[in-house]
Structure 1
């Protein structure tokens, strides 16, 4: 018998015993495995590959002419051909010395279109689906795409979206595919209910959550969209809230979202067990690391005996100890807090144990979930990178930094085992959130009857690069105009240096004796000293024009009269362009817990400036301001704050110019106009050399208004003074003495979708006759 006949007989025998293997998809494979040394074909014949071509089929086979093959090779070849997506049916058989591969080609997609979509644009849907034009038609891929579209709509609160497809033939073997979308109504959240809470009201706890009840502004905020991952993040936010307010035993027993299909709205029920409230007992540090004395680390602790228990303070203490020990040459040092509960006194003693820890290295940092923010923006917030020693406190510090950016609605960092026992993979899961805002500000001067408006647009995460951009423009009925543009790169040249610039221009005709115009720019660099302390160096150059508006003659004399009250003043500043060249330096200390809605912490800054590097000004100026926040009532969410500021300027040349001196008013002492107090000539402020201000304020949720809307009330009292002037010898100057101004008032703060807005009404209770008042003030609620 010839070799070829033996081969065919062997194949036939195997075929009869094994039969034909097929699947529901129409796969038909002739099982043709025999002893490996006998299964050899001389050529491969491809049939049915009209569009794809025979070579494309052969390139996906694991079987080659002249080489042995087995059942496993046939299975692998079939899987490869199906994986291309180009075929709806694949059959492999042997005929003599030839391997016959018969395929039925899938239709090709000519174009993918979307119909019925309004809430999600075509370009975004194109990025979601994997079926693309010029690709194969695949039922399984299209089914997966339908699910992806549903998930995208669910993320914007449209869980009842319906997605179907339409296929339209356009040529032989080619079709147009349309995803037909019925977006349905937006799913809402009718209520968020809490069970088991005694220490805090439902409204107070609802303010902690990212998920909000549906309201009149929900179409802007989109915070009333139910998402299971978001609810898990809200559970963690509740835990951290309770842990940081003394409730170390707090638990979320259950959380559920119940959908009312009739109203297409969710009811969220969260059941909690608060437990007892604790204070810190005895606090100490113990070290088993050679050369590290625990008692020397005691001063780094944020936790103090008698204070309300706070997990955040424990974490900060651990990080401070870890940094000190690492800097001493122990990168693997581990800090573990050990708690000692005393149920009789409701205290928890804490001992921080410092040991060498296990040697572990970061294998890689994997970032997931960021759809807008670029990976490197997230990675640069870590003080470690691949290959560095793993340290849990460093990971916690990175998490806090990422949350402070304001780019993400949720940040979760976890770890998993790496490729070897001493390797760790760090997983960073984030959820992007909107970072742009539109702001408006306004002021109304009762004395002048002038309304000033300002509009601004800012983006904290420009193009997902973490860069800050702000554009603002303003104007008023008194012909005041202001323009500002700011840009900040937070990691200049790859270092943790925030470099940026500001360009500005302003002009006004509100002054009695002159028109004023100022324009210039600033370049600045900010470097961190510690997590809470930073320093900034800046250089500013600007030009100033004081133009006689015609109320005075060429020599500053009032038209048609002999009164020269303001003559020296006008002569001193008008008729030419003045220049200022200023080098400034600031130090800022900031421990405020939440910039938009602060409850605890200190914000303090000290700035000093030197003018004299060219230009027309020569002076040294120093000023300081600080604000302390403290929660007066956890239960009612009442937050108190005390603020103060002071400044002084001295001439380094012959004397100060009017534009070298301080001008203060409504921003520091509400109830007064900008530049509304202090030395002046007629109705015009000329500034002073020294000022002091103080303020006390309490904010609270507005009664009968859901806290989810972001409204808070405020009551306040302000006081201060601006005095002294190098122009005091000029005729007609008043207000150079240290007269105290004061005001009391109330306001409403709104954390709106456009940013934090604020309206205040203040009544001056101590003022001078020549002061300019401004009882109503509408502005951005920036407290720093």
Structure 2
């Protein structure tokens, strides 16, 4: 047994020795092979005495060598040669690049990209060539770069996407020509429009889908989808719609409102989307207790409290908070307190659904405006933009004032975009206000057509420039003709006269009017300089001088000797010279409630300043407007009145009042008021020294899809014209005394793509025998 064990040990020892020798032999062999290999490529070095460039036709060899960055006589590595290759290729000038070391010479062989011979776009109908070609990077006579061409194709596809054609495809094609030239062709498949078939809302309890759809920028596709462009689906517009919804609800007190999501479901035919906005309205909050506290010893909180316009119980709105803060900060500036800030501290009262607001008057940081930098205004002068700032260099910095200035700049309408930002200046207590704007066209040339039952078919041509010579001035030239009226006018307005919030205007007008139902013709030339300026938050005052030459004649073959009209026409030309003013107070959509407001106007003109006719003309107008029934129904109430006093009792028919079909519906423009009448001979409308009218109207949806733009309305009008200076003519004068006319009616409003259309169906409840009634009329105006 012992011998067998010893034999086994000897056999294992022999095997182990043989294995060790085999491993050692393999190791020695691998080491020998590694020692025999040359150095790695990364360590390989080259030294070139010359560099040869081949294949270039337009690009100079020196430019290619500059891209390569390899100098003769210097040692370079293989990695540096690879870097030279990449730099030449990245220049975007060559299709292929080859770098080949040949001993002491480096050969560089290139194949240049072709030059663009021409660029064409095929397959496009919706977007014009000029609009697309002006926006792409590739240009004729420049090097054709496939990467740039692909980028241009993506841009064109995005332009189609923004217009609602999400399925549009753009393929760039290269057509080779002689002399290393090529045509670049963008082949476009436009696809169909992805319309918004339906917009619906989930979670809205206080406002109907119809009311919310009117808030959005996106619209549902309707019968006029070929003309209405906002019914196309654009993702960016949907994001903007979410912000519009939030602003709408916040302004009505729903402070917890959120859009939790928007579902855009593609229709089965893949040509339309169904949009669903998921809303969380929350509860409507009103203002609770309003108070002011002052943390500055020199400021009396009681005085600032009296300046606030917000009252408890009013529906909460962030706009009212901002307006109140601005009012208090302006009050502090008037009292000589700089660096004053007003912080609103809001406390929720969940039980009463109210928000208590405490306006804290505190001392702000001492920071000054170092300078205001304006960039991007290629046409508009700097001073037009700077005029929108209430602060100038060196004034205390007020962030809220800067935000308000930015809104005023955008409200000018001169710029596509306007960004106003503040950054730290040369020291921590200085800020620089940067204004970056992008200009947009401000001029317009309009050709319009009108039709009304008052003046028939008319033509309107108007040239208007809202930013004349970049000075922020308004210039307008217009011509309007109709069967009964010709009107030519020139208007110029300087909105910042003498660098102040003072609008200076000048108007010239020539008008010739020949009403079908009248025997007289008037030719009026007028000049009217004006000055207008604000006198309060909602009030504005206009001062004016009016010089008018009024020529009145009787139509050929229509004279009736001894009649009042003939006697007035016999006085010939009358020069009227007057001074006047108009005070207006307008809170519509700007006051405490966004759904209601009033307009009050009072005007007077005093004639006799060097003219042929002495008079005092006084008129007043009051308009109230509100929305009810979830803001679906709009209610209007309008009151108008006027009185003409002529101390010499010498007014003419061209001076006296008439009621137009807009003021009193249901009658012809000269259909009511004093008349001189002879049966079968004469029926002259004379106008009156006094007029009064009241109109009450309700506008409401008719149940049709709102994208059709059709709504209805009921109205009730009551009015009269009366009073004469002279009432003795060859005929009998009727209705010189006050006599009220009453009218009811129904209206249909249609907002068409070519202009608003209105139909009025009326019935006079009370009228006089000689009145001229009109039971139906409609108006339409269009711009193209």
TM-score, structure 1 length as denominator?
0.79
Residue of structure 2 aligned with 1:671, choices 642, 645, 666: 666
Correspondence 1:697 to 2:722: no
CA distance in 1, matches of 2:41, 2:642: 100
- Residue 551 (structure 2) aligns with: 545
Correspondence 1:656 to 2:651: yes
CA distance in 2, matches of 1:327, 1:78: 70
Residue of structure 2 aligned with 1:602, choices 590, 598, 621: 598
Correspondence 1:629 to 2:625: yes
Correspondence 1:708 to 2:733: no
Residue of structure 2 aligned with 1:151, choices 126, 143, 158: 158
Matches within 5 A, 1:310-349: 310-329=317-336, 332-349=339-356
- Residue 195 (structure 2) aligns with: 188
Matches within 5 A, 1:248-647: 248-260=255-267, 262-329=269-336, 332-358=339-365, 359=367, 361=369, 383=390, 390-398=397-405, 401=408, 423=431, 442-444=451-453, 452-454=456-458, 456=460, 469=476, 471=478, 473-476=480-483, 480-485=484-489, 487=491, 491=495, 497=503, 499=505, 501=507, 503-520=509-526, 522-530=528-536, 532-551=538-557, 556-557=560-561, 564=562, 566=563, 568-574=564-570, 576-593=572-589, 599-633=595-629, 635=630, 637-647=632-642
Mapped contact 1:153–1:161 kept (Cα < 8 A)? yes
Q: 1:312 to 1:773 in 2, by over 3 A?
A: farther
Q: 1:274 to 1:433 in 2, by over 3 A?
A: farther
SS in 2 for 1:153: helix
Matches within 5 A, 1:31-70: 48-54=55-61, 56=63
Deviation at 1:214, TM superposition (A): 0.7
Mapped contact 2:754–2:781 kept (Cα < 8 A)? no
Deviations 1:16-70 (CA, angstroms, capped at 9, x unpaired): 4267xxxxxxxxxxx99xxxxxx9x999976654313345557778899999999
Mapped contact 1:525–1:536 kept (Cα < 8 A)? yes
Deviation at 1:251, TM superposition (A): 1.1
CA distance in 1, matches of 2:40, 2:542: 81
Mapped contact 2:450–2:781 kept (Cα < 8 A)? no
Deviation at 1:306, TM superposition (A): 1.3
Correspondence 1:162 to 2:169: yes
- Residue 112 (structure 1) aligns with: 119
Q: 1:288 to 1:627 in 2, by over 3 A?
A: same
Mapped contact 2:700–2:713 kept (Cα < 8 A)? yes
Correspondence 1:681 to 2:676: yes
- Residue 775 (structure 1) aligns with: 775
Q: 1:495 to 1:281 in 2, by over 3 A?
A: same
Deviation at 1:470, TM superposition (A): 7.4
Q: 1:243 to 1:652 in 2, by over 3 A?
A: same
CA distance in 2, matches of 1:343, 1:260: 43
CA distance in 2, matches of 1:125, 1:218: 24
Residue of structure 2 aligned with 1:17, choices 34, 42, 46: 42
Deviation at 1:190, TM superposition (A): 0.7
CA distance in 2, matches of 1:69, 1:140: 31
- Residue 200 (structure 1) aligns with: 207
CA distance in 1, matches of 2:305, 2:358: 11
Q: 1:508 to 1:625 in 2, by over 3 A?
A: same
Deviations 1:171-219 (CA, angstroms, capped at 9, x unpaired): 3122121112122211100111111111111111111111111112233
SS in 2 for 1:219: coil
Deviations 1:283-327 (CA, angstroms, capped at 9, x unpaired): 122233453333222344342101222233223222322333344
Deviation at 1:329, TM superposition (A): 4.5
CA distance in 2, matches of 1:498, 1:570: 40
Deviation at 1:253, TM superposition (A): 0.9
CA distance in 2, matches of 1:428, 1:228: 26
CA distance in 1, matches of 2:76, 2:421: 44
SS in 1 for 2:227: helix
Mapped contact 2:664–2:718 kept (Cα < 8 A)? yes
- Residue 718 (structure 2) aligns with: 719
Mapped contact 1:88–1:106 kept (Cα < 8 A)? yes
Matched length: 728
- Residue 728 (structure 1) aligns with: 727
Mapped contact 1:371–1:432 kept (Cα < 8 A)? no
CA distance in 1, matches of 2:109, 2:735: 100
Q: RMSD in angstroms over aligned alpha carbons?
A: 4.6
Deviations 1:612-653 (CA, angstroms, capped at 9, x unpaired): 4555333222212121112222x2522222221222222266
SS in 2 for 1:313: helix
Q: 1:513 to 1:454 in 2, by over 3 A?
A: closer
SS in 1 for 2:282: coil
CA distance in 1, matches of 2:424, 2:691: 60
CA distance in 1, matches of 2:752, 2:381: 27
Correspondence 1:746 to 2:771: no
Mapped contact 1:60–1:81 kept (Cα < 8 A)? yes
Mapped contact 1:695–1:718 kept (Cα < 8 A)? yes
Deviations 1:712-742 (CA, angstroms, capped at 9, x unpaired): 3222222222222223355543322122222
Q: 1:503 to 1:492 in 2, by over 3 A?
A: farther
CA distance in 2, matches of 1:154, 1:460: 33
Q: 1:624 to 1:262 in 2, by over 3 A?
A: same
CA distance in 2, matches of 1:330, 1:76: 65
Deviation at 1:591, TM superposition (A): 2.5
Deviation at 1:336, TM superposition (A): 2.8
CA distance in 2, matches of 1:777, 1:614: 42
CA distance in 1, matches of 2:183, 2:728: 86
Unaligned stretches of 5+ residues in structure 2: 1-37, 678-682
Larger Rg, first or second structure (1 or 2):
2
